[in-house]
Structure 1
Amino acid sequence: MNKYKKKSKRKWFLIFLVFVAFVYVNNSSLLATPKNDSPILLAHRGLAQTFSLEGVENDTCTAQRIYEPEHPFLENTIPSMEAAFQAGADIVEFDIKPTKDGQFAVFHDWTLDCRTNGQGMAKDYTMAELKELDVGYGYTADQGKTYPFRGKGVGLMPSMDEVLTHFPDKSFLIHIKSNDPAEGVQLAEYLAKLPEERLNQLTVYGGDEPIASLKESLPQVRVMSMATLKAGLIPYILIGWTGYVPESLQHTQLHIPEKIAPWLWGFPNRFQNRMDQADTRVIIVGGDGSDFSSGFDSLEDVQRLPASYTGGIWTNRIDRIAPIYNRNR
């Protein structure tokens, strides 16, 4: 009986070792297809003024806490996007808000009061009225002693149509800032008029409800929301060790915090291969996921990434990050 038990234990121990070996090899770089590509660089809001993220909440006026300006560009404006692409960005992210006359303004904040000389919400104004505002009005790096961009941002708030027309061959990540499903429907109606090759250059992310309504109307568009992120990553965490990629991870986008990424099966090389085969774009953002605006904004930040990483990098300082990859254009 003792001999039988010993043999049985040995047998199960060997099975366990084989299982561990399989999981290790199947998710290691040994089976990864090598890529010589450099990472995709995603410029958050173009080339913009940056600020401390410490203590930032949904209603924090970030224009009132910027660092001393190192460049003249303001977020979500055509000049800031031009500067980002010229610096070497592959994709530029911008935020949209519906207007009173059925357009989308490119603007980040819930209200106009912080960043501009206007008041209220973008939806209470026509696009022409929003054009009259100064989007540089509220910026200060010294608690209101000086306002270095005041008077320089009049007319710089673009419509989404202006942006896409101005950059006909560039890739964008469009951010729906609300959780209103009607905004997803409105955006889907706009995007449906674009040719397929243009749609392939656009990705949309935002609240669960508008993203769901947009995806229902335009299933071919690459999207991301917290719901799609969970729907894809949870099953992958459970069974991704086998190499299986769930249907929910096909043709989508993932924003993965750097502190979570190492826990994904096969990260970075094998995981990236699987996502490439699924036509899914991987973007690494800074931190632990508590603030998805946190990016890789310095050489020290980039050095935390695996040397072989070839996915996307989220940055608020494309002017600093692109030269690291010799991407200045």
Structure 2
Amino acid sequence: MLRVLRFIAVPLMLLALALGVLALTSQPAQTSAVLSTLGDQPLVIAHRGGKGLWPENSLFAFERASDLGVDMLEMDLHLSSDGELVVIHDRTLNRTTNGQGRVAEHSLTQLQALDAAYNWTADGGQSYPYRGQGIRIPTFTEVLQRFPDAAKVIEMKVPDVGMEAALCEALQSHQQIDRVVIGSFYDRSLQLFREQCPGVATSAGPGSVRMLVALNWVGLGSLLSPSYQALQIPEAHDGLLIASPSLFKTASERGLNIQMWTINEQADMRRLLDKGAHALITDYPDRALQVLGRPTQINALARE
């Protein structure tokens, strides 16, 4: 029995020592320039520019959302066959445009010849009000040039194609590294981007979210030293509650900006804000602004 106790005691002591070291050395997330400039108020983030209101991921949507007064524009990136960063969500063109096939198999010229508003409807397909209005798939460069001062949430949609380097170069050349938060559902893409573009704010990847949830569940969330500044999560996943009060508390203590997606109903918006969410990623930014008591009238219907 004594031998068994000794056998168990040694790893337990090593574990306790490791946890003690982590407790002494753990640090909260580094301050993000882009989030710091937005202040302490709850943030309204227009998901794909507000895809419930306008054709998603278009310059038109970003213009309208900006004029509405949102805090951040959210968008998605792919690469064209000739290596241009383009703003579109799906890997294929079928859902949003009058084109077919994979984005990556089309050149920029081919992509921009398509109608990016072709399938947008607000009434279940009874009408398509933005068809034929010249709304096309924008390049990321066009977005940076048109909205240099806008805070942006950017999702890298495809790993292992060199997007990380292209994104970093675009942000540096347009001097907007302090105006963005970069996210991805691929941990390796986020890690590579952080290595290539240090100092740019990022969100937690899926592995990091799982780690935070697990550490919080066993009461060790305070040991985490996040390499990211934003926690972009749904309220639940596969029937499992993620956005628990305990997780909100831990994430806030670790210096993370909690950004909930995709929240479209006002009752849910109010509940999550009351729980401690810092930002709402929504298809209907007008609803979120209304919940926050902020103006919901567009200030300018068009830009020069």
1:304 matched to 2:286: no
Deviation at 1:306, TM superposition (A): 5.1
1:282 maps to what in 2? 258
- Counterpart selection for 1:96 from 45, 55, 77: 77
Residue 124 of structure 1 aligns with which residue? 105
1:188 aligns with 2:191: no
CA contact 2:57–2:75 (8 Å) conserved in 1: yes
TM-superposed CA distance for 1:310, in Å, is: 5.4
SS at match of 2:244: helix
Alignment partners' CA distance in 2, 1:301 and 1:136 = 29
Which position in structure 2 is the counterpart of 1:26? none
Give the SS at the match of 1:219.
coil
- For structure 2, the residue ranges without an aligned partner over 5 or more in a row are 1-38, 236-240, 300-304
Matched, 1:87 2:68: yes
The residue number in structure 1 matching 2:188 is 209
Q: List aligned pairs for 1:139-158, cutoff 5 A.
A: 139-140=120-121, 146-152=127-133, 154-158=134-138
Matches of 1:316 and 1:145, distance apart in 2:
20
- Greater C-alpha radius of gyration: 1
Residue 38 (str. 1) matches residue 41 (str. 2): yes
Range that drifts further, 218-227 or 101-110: 218-227
Given candidates 242, 249, 253, the residue that maps to 2:230 is 253
- The TM-score, its normalising length taken from structure 2, stands at 0.72
Q: Are residue 326 (structure 1) and residue 293 (structure 2) matched?
A: yes
What is the deviation of 1:90? 0.9
Runs of 4+ in 1 over 6 A off after TM superposition: none
Would the aligned equivalents of 2:81 and 2:106 in 1 still touch at CA under 8 Å? Answer: yes
Tell me how far apart the structure 1 counterparts of residues 56 and 148 of structure 2 sit (CA, whole Å).
20
Deviations 1:15-49 (A, max 9, x none): xxxxxxxxxxxxxxxxxxxxx94311111001223
Q: Secondary structure at the match of 1:297?
A: coil
Aligned counterparts of 2:161 and 2:245: Cα–Cα separation in 1: 33
- Aligned twin of 2:244: 262
Q: Which residue of 199, 203, 208 corresponds with 1:220?
A: 199
> 2:259–2:277: 8 Å Cα contact kept in structure 1?
no
Q: Tell me, in whole angstroms, the C-alpha distance in 2 between the residues paired with 1:83 and 1:92.
A: 11
Distance in 2 (alpha carbons) for counterparts of 1:281 and 1:321: 17
Q: List per-residue Cα deviations over 1:148-179 (Å, max 9, x = no partner).
A: 33212x34321111101111111111111123
| 1:39/1:311 contact within 8 Å kept | yes
Alignment RMSD, CA only? 2.6
Q: How many residues align?
A: 251
Residues 224-256 of structure 1: CA deviation (Å, up to 9, x unaligned): 321232344433443446xx2511x24422123
CA distance 1:306–1:151, change in 2 (3 Å) = closer
Change (3 A) 1:251 1:176: closer
Alpha-carbon distance between aligned partners in 2 of 1:114 and 1:273, rounded to the nearest angstrom: 37
Post-superposition shift, 1:106? 0.6
TM-score by length of 1: 0.67
- State the alpha-carbon separation in 2 of the partners of residues 127 and 79 from structure 1: 19
* Amino acid in structure 2 at the alignment position of 1:40: L
- CA distance, structure 2, for counterparts of residue 320 and residue 143 of structure 1: 20
Q: Are residues 273 and 139 of structure 1, via their aligned partners in 2, closer, same or farther at CA, if it must alter by over 3 Å? A: closer
State the one-letter code of the partner of 1:115.
Answer: T
Partner of 1:58: none
- State the percentage of identical aligned residues: 27
Match of 1:290? none
Aligned mates of 1:222, 1:85 — CA distance in 2: 21
2:233–2:260: 8 Å Cα contact kept in structure 1?
yes
Distance 2:293 2:273 in 1: 18
Instruction: Tell whether the 8 Å contact from 1:184 to 1:212 is kept in structure 2 after alignment.
Output: no
Are 1:315 and 2:291 counterparts? Answer: no
**Which of 71, 76, 82 is the matching residue for 2:57?**
76
CA shift at 1:118, angstroms? Answer: 1.7
How far off is 1:272 after superposition? 5.8
Instruction: Give the conservation status (yes or no) of the 8 Å contact 1:181–1:211.
Output: no
